């Protein structure tokens, strides 16, 4: 039955379409039916693009029949976070401030992926303006976590993760400014790729902090990540064949990533590292002061940029915003320009130091999140809890953003606990090959 394919990897779906065993139109119809029937469908999808999806699926079916498929993902159905512009369809970035915003053109990445034959199912809910790692959004909707219906799913690409985890899309396209792909991927047992900043075009993407914003996939396998990246960049997918962790040198980043870590993610991470070591990886552990120094600059670097981007719009209608998100934005007005410039100068030095100190390693390892998905109602009722959990949630992932790295989160096998690999900027292909090797090692434990 077509419904049996909804939770398979995008690569498996593509191969089945290629073999004539799966019809893109039937697959798309099955996804649309599943979304409408799902009890949380309206909490996951902000809006469907049903007519578009069916038209694209018919075209994909016809190409498949004629032997004219454009890519392995031709005919595979995707969800798009509600900050990627869709022509003639509202794109509101999870905020009532942008209610009724309807762009005239698709985002450039959506254009590229549509030309390759992928199918746009619709737009997924997200944290307001993508400015929280928890996924809580009482303004629009809070999607569920696949492992705990009472918990938040992680953010800001909350609906993106839920759409794949619940079998309502094969691939989700999200964004990552401080962890917004990796946190929801980890908490929903998915693979999530934070691409190198500026590697992918963000034309037609609602910004948060342009010096940090990135786009990336949330999927079921590293192979799917590689295929999505190949479509986005219109090039062959990175070669993952024969990837092995044997003899690879991994640095476990001690220190800051483990401050205040909860027991379950810590135990899951250590078990995953042990599995990599048993598969032949060489593991070294050390702390790097430059990491803590870089993290200490987060507030003075992030918040002024975010507030500068959205100050006029949010101050014109602050009453329609979720107060904790509004508060985070407004904190950006408290920093001097001289402090912001000095912080960037310092951050560039820390980036150079980090790269010099990690140059002998294939990748750096750390727990994706130091906590588990918090209870949604408690976050709503306890402002202090929201603040502390949000900061803790994003602490580890923000390391990759602050240092300008590419990063990949993989499931550890423990629900809602991920392990991340980080590589230098523009080493995304190397990262994916290492990720495929690590994925294989973790799957045979």
Residues involved in catalysis: 81, 156, 180
Place of tokens 């019809």: 23
Cβ-count burial 100-121 (b if 16+ within 10 Å, e if not): eeebeebbbbbbbbbebbbbbb
Q: Which residues, 6+ apart, have CB-to-CB distance to 424 below 8 Å?
A: 355, 358, 405, 406
110: left (phi over 0), alpha (psi -120 to 50) or beta: alpha
Cβ proximity of 284 and 251 under 8 Å: yes
What is the DSSP secondary-structure string of 358-380? HTTSSEEEEES-SSPPPBHHHHH
DSSP code, position 237? P
Q: Which positions ≥6 away from 384 have C-beta within 8 Å?
A: none
SS3 435: helix
Measured CA to CA, the distance from residue 240 to residue 222 in angstroms comes to: 9
How far apart are the C-alpha atoms of 411 and 250, rounded to whole Å?
17
**SS3 state of residue 310:** helix
- Would you say 48 and 121 are in contact if contact means Cβ atoms under 8 Å apart? yes
Neighbours of 142 (CB within 10 A): 25
Give the separation between CA 174 and CA 161, rounded to whole angstroms: 8
Other C-beta atoms lying within 10 Å of the C-beta of residue 364: 26
Q: Going by C-beta distance under 8 Å and a sequence separation of 6 or more, which residues neighbour residue 434? A: 243, 245, 248, 362, 363, 408, 421, 423
Q: Which phi and psi (to 5°) does residue 17 adopt?
A: -65, -45
């Amino acid at each position: 039955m077509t419904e049996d394919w909804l939770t398979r990897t995008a690569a498996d779906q593509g191969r089945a379409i290629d073999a004539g065993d799966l019809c893109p139109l039937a697959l798309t119809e099955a996804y649309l039916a599943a979304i409408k029937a799902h009890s949380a469908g309206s909490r996951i999808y902000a809006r469907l693009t049903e007519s578009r999806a069916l038209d694209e699926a018919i075209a994909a079916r016809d190409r498949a029949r004629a032997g004219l498929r454009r890519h392995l993902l031709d005919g595979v159905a995707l969800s798009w976070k509600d900050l990627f512009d869709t022509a003639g369809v509202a794109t509101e970035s999870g905020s009532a401030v942008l209610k009724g915003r309807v762009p005239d053109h698709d985002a450039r990445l959506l254009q590229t992926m549509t030309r390759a034959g992928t199918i746009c199912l619709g737009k997924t809910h997200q944290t307001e303006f993508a400015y929280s790692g928890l996924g809580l959004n009482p303004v629009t909707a809070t999607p569920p976590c696949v492992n705990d219906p009472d918990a938040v799913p992680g953010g800001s690409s909350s609906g993106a993760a839920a759409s794949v985890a619940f079998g309502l899309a094969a691939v989700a396209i999200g964004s990552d400014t401080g962890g917004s792909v990796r946190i929801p991927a980890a908490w929903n047992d998915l693979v999530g790729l934070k691409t190198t900043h500026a590697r992918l075009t963000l034309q037609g993407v609602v910004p948060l902090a342009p010096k940090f914003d990135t786009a990336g996939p949330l999927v079921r396998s590293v192979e799917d990540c590689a295929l999505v990246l190949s479509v986005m960049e219109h090039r062959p997918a990175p070669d993952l064949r024969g990837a092995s962790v044997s003899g690879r040198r991994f640095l476990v980043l001690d220190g800051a990533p483990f401050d205040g870590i909860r027991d379950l993610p810590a135990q899951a991470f250590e078990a995953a590292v042990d599995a990599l070591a048993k598969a032949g990886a060489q593991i070294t552990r050390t702390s790097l002061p430059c990491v803590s120094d870089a993290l200490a600059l987060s507030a003075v670097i992030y918040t002024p940029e975010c507030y500068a981007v959205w100050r006029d719009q949010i101050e014109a209608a602050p009453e329609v915003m979720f107060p904790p998100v509004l508060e985070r934005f407004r904190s950006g007005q408290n920093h001097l320009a001289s402090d912001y410039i000095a912080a960037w100068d310092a951050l560039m030095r820390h980036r150079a130091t980090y790269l010099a100190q990690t140059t002998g390693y294939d990748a750096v390892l750390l727990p994706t999140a130091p906590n588990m998905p918090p209870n949604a109602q408690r976050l709503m009722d306890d402002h202090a809890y929201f603040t502390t959990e949000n900061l803790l949630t994003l602490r580890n992932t923000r390391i990759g953003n602050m240092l300008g790295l590419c990063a990949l989160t993989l499931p550890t096998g423990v629900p809602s606990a991920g392990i991340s690999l980080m590589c230098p900027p523009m080493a995304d292909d190397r990262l994916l090959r290492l990720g495929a090797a690590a994925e294989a090692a973790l799957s045979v434990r």
